[in-house]
Structure 1
Amino acid sequence: MTPEQFLAQIQKQAPAGVYFFLGPETYTRKECRRALTDRVLSEEEREQGLTRHDLDEVSVDAVLDDARSLSLFAPVRLIWASAAEAAVPKDADAHAGLAAYVKDPTPGVTIVFDSSRFDFDGEDKSKQERVRKHYGPIKDVVEFARFDERRARDLAKRLAGEQGLRMRADAIEALVEALGADAARIAMEIEKLALYANGREITAAELANGLIADGRATTIFALVNALGRRDRPASLALLDTLVREGEYLPLALTFLGTQFRLALVAREQGLRSAGDIQIFFQKQGIAMWRQRAEQVSATVGAFPREKLEGAIGKVFAADRALRDTRPDDRVVMEEFVLELTR
């Protein structure tokens, strides 16, 4: 079921004995976790009734044993078992025990097995399918897929309305793109923008001029230019600037990937001037303001087609590396720079 279906279900009926939360998206997962906690436990019951387990450290059987144990101090309990994917290789025999528990769950106890590491597509797909199969006896599965741009735009519009924030359509587009359609970051930025705007309308130009993240777009564009010149020292120095400024490196990589993709399209269409680039992308329904069009034009001039295609492939590889278990983001990005400046 979707997160929306889950939220509707627990409002209409008592929660199930066991749930399986699957997928990487964090914003709706947080909403569902909060709603389930509110549904199962009162504020007074949470100190004794809420239990957290990490399946990196304990087994599925240990979680089930905990659920079966009765407590004089907590007649109603919610047990949260995170890192559920960690149990797949080490708890191969837990399937039967899980199946038996699902058939006869402990009254008054709700268990959530939570797996957030693997995505639904790409290289993660087969890994996630193994995790899903391992928890197959659980019938109530909630899938947390990443937001696509349309869904992220809808969320941004809704949250802006709730915050009383007026944003033009191009500003919504710019915000969603700048944040890589990351719902959690969109929610955080809209809350900050509402305080900043104080009732006036926010434009895309303001976002482009650093309203979201203190001028990071300028630094990232300088990094694009340095990569185009194959200037390794300058590229590493600019990366160091992003790190020192506290930049979220996966988001910086998203900026780079978007810049390369737009430049590749512009090159394939034979677009050279910033004016032509702005007109073309606006006709395609893509937010494109003058400053951004000038940056795309400069990137087209700095990168031949073959290098743009190679850079996009390396962005994809770096993105996969950044999603790995506990990656060192800086090392991944440094390797990305070294690859592009050979």
Structure 2
Amino acid sequence: MDYKSAARDVGKGQVSPVYVCYGTETYLLKEFIAFLTQKLIEPEYREFAVSKYDLAETPLDVVLEDAQTLPFMAPKKLVIADNATFFTGAKDGGKIDHQPEKLLDYMKAPSDFAVIVLTVEAEKLDERKKIVKGLKEVTVPFLPMSAEQLLNWVNRQAERQSFVFAEGAADQLILYTGGSLQALAAEISKLSLFVGAGGTVTGDVVDRLVTRSTEQNVFILIDDIVRLRLNRAFEILYDLLKQKEEPVKIVLLIARQFRIVLQVMELSKLGYSHQQMASQLGLHPYAVKIAAEQGQSYTPDKLERILSQLAELDYKMKSGKVDKVMGLELFLMRLAG
């Protein structure tokens, strides 16, 4: 089941005795656990009716024993256990013997007063394992949203906080945060406070208020170069230099982005979807979408030449054969030309 279906069932009172939650979108996973807690445990009981364990340090037996022990002064209890790596194909280098088959035994006669939530931060589970097959019906994935889903999520969050985005501003916000839901939620709250109820967030407001990492600034710099917004591209470059960012690091980040553009182009020829590319490259689907758009301005040969030029620039910078800032400026001007 997906997390929306699981949340709907919980809202209707149809709660599973066990949930196996996996995925890399930890913000949604935490939201689901918070919603489950809110629906199951009254506020006055949460201090002693919610147990948390780390399976890297605690045997699964302890978790199951807790779930089978009557709750203290509360009708229900919630038992949360993180790092359930025995669901994945990862090698278990720990010293804990979990015996996951006991979880299948527990499912035959689960406690009617407890709900167990097992979490693991992994893109997928090992479906060859008996434990994964046995708990498939209660497995909930929390994976990165597609670009379209992410845009819809951002607009819904704005609606909940009583403001709207001007055309293109929501896309700009996603670009500036790299699609991280944690960062997006924080920035949306900040923007809401700035424009107030009924306000409109424009691209200029996003530009002024949203915090960007060095990696995101380089990402945006390249996007501006591709779209021939040269003045803004150089503004970003000079801001990075004012912040004492090392030109060699900026070159490496530029090379990384062009390498991604080339990889996305090659995978697209093989028929991969954006979601599949994101999984293959370890990127957010929104970053893949932007890379695909950037790639429309280049041929594979041109991208390879750019990467070769960047490698040469990196060598000249490190060997003192070119002034670092001037070398970077000249490269960007040639790139724009």
Q: Same fold (TM over 0.5)?
A: yes
Quick one: distance in 1 between partners of 2:305 and 2:205? 31
Report the counterpart of residue 110 of structure 1 in structure 2: 115
Report the counterpart of residue 196 of structure 1 in structure 2: 194
Quick one: distance in 1 between partners of 2:254 and 2:177? 8
1:152-173 superposed Cα distances (whole Å, 9 cap, x missing partner)? 1001111112222221231111
Report the counterpart of residue 7 of structure 2 in structure 1: 7
Quick one: distance in 2 between partners of 1:100 and 1:310? 58
After superposition, the Cα gap between the structure-2 partners of 1:35 and 1:218, relative to the gap in structure 1 and judged at 3 Å, is closer
After superposition, the Cα gap between the structure-2 partners of 1:217 and 1:70, relative to the gap in structure 1 and judged at 3 Å, is closer
**Correspondence 1:211-222 to 2 at 5 A:** 211-213=209-211, 220=218
Query: Does residue 136 of the first structure (1) align with residue 133 of the second (2)?
Result: yes
Quick one: distance in 2 between partners of 1:189 and 1:15? 33
Match of 1:163 among 161, 166, 174: 161
Q: Contact conserved, 2:18 with 2:115, CA < 8 A, in 1?
A: yes
1:128-154 superposed Cα distances (whole Å, 9 cap, x missing partner)? 326975443323111101112111100
**Correspondence 1:40-119 to 2 at 5 A:** 40-85=40-85, 89=92, 94-116=99-121, 118-119=122-123
Q: Contact conserved, 2:162 with 2:199, CA < 8 A, in 1?
A: no
Q: Contact conserved, 1:219 with 1:242, CA < 8 A, in 2?
A: no
Quick one: distance in 2 between partners of 1:105 and 1:146? 31
Counterpart of 2:109, as a letter, is D
After superposition, the Cα gap between the structure-2 partners of 1:51 and 1:93, relative to the gap in structure 1 and judged at 3 Å, is closer
- 3-state DSSP of counterpart to 2:44: coil
Quick one: distance in 1 between partners of 2:17 and 2:81? 13
Q: Contact conserved, 2:49 with 2:71, CA < 8 A, in 1?
A: no
After superposition, the Cα gap between the structure-2 partners of 1:93 and 1:50, relative to the gap in structure 1 and judged at 3 Å, is closer
- 3-state DSSP of counterpart to 1:105: coil
Counterpart of 2:123, as a letter, is D
After superposition, the Cα gap between the structure-2 partners of 1:218 and 1:41, relative to the gap in structure 1 and judged at 3 Å, is closer
Quick one: distance in 2 between partners of 1:218 and 1:33? 30
Quick one: distance in 1 between partners of 2:150 and 2:213? 23
Q: Aligned-pair distance for 1:56?
A: 0.7
**Correspondence 1:109-258 to 2 at 5 A:** 109-116=114-121, 118-120=122-124, 128-129=125-126, 134-138=131-135, 139-198=137-196, 199-207=198-206, 209-213=207-211, 220=218, 241=244, 257=257
Quick one: distance in 1 between partners of 2:75 and 2:84? 25
Q: Contact conserved, 2:82 with 2:120, CA < 8 A, in 1?
A: yes
Q: Contact conserved, 1:166 with 1:201, CA < 8 A, in 2?
A: yes
Q: Contact conserved, 2:3 with 2:142, CA < 8 A, in 1?
A: yes
Report the counterpart of residue 246 of structure 1 in structure 2: none
Q: Aligned-pair distance for 1:38?
A: 1.2
Quick one: distance in 2 between partners of 1:222 and 1:167? 20
Q: Aligned-pair distance for 1:87?
A: 7.4
Q: Contact conserved, 1:60 with 1:87, CA < 8 A, in 2?
A: no
Query: Does residue 25 of the first structure (1) align with residue 15 of the second (2)?
Result: no
Q: Aligned-pair distance for 1:204?
A: 2.5
After superposition, the Cα gap between the structure-2 partners of 1:76 and 1:214, relative to the gap in structure 1 and judged at 3 Å, is closer
Quick one: distance in 2 between partners of 1:26 and 1:42? 24
Quick one: distance in 2 between partners of 1:309 and 1:102? 54
Please list every run of 5 or more consecutive structure 1 residues that lacks an aligned counterpart in the other structure: 121-127, 225-233, 244-248, 266-285, 288-295, 313-342
Counterpart of 1:67, as a letter, is A
- 3-state DSSP of counterpart to 1:5: helix
After superposition, the Cα gap between the structure-2 partners of 1:35 and 1:72, relative to the gap in structure 1 and judged at 3 Å, is closer
After superposition, the Cα gap between the structure-2 partners of 1:105 and 1:11, relative to the gap in structure 1 and judged at 3 Å, is same
Identity of aligned residues (%): 23
Q: Aligned-pair distance for 1:61?
A: 1.8
Please list every run of 5 or more consecutive structure 2 residues that lacks an aligned counterpart in the other structure: 223-236, 266-288, 311-337
RMSD of the alignment, in Å?
4.3
Number of positions where the alignment pairs a residue of Structure 1 with one of Structure 2: 254
After superposition, the Cα gap between the structure-2 partners of 1:29 and 1:103, relative to the gap in structure 1 and judged at 3 Å, is same
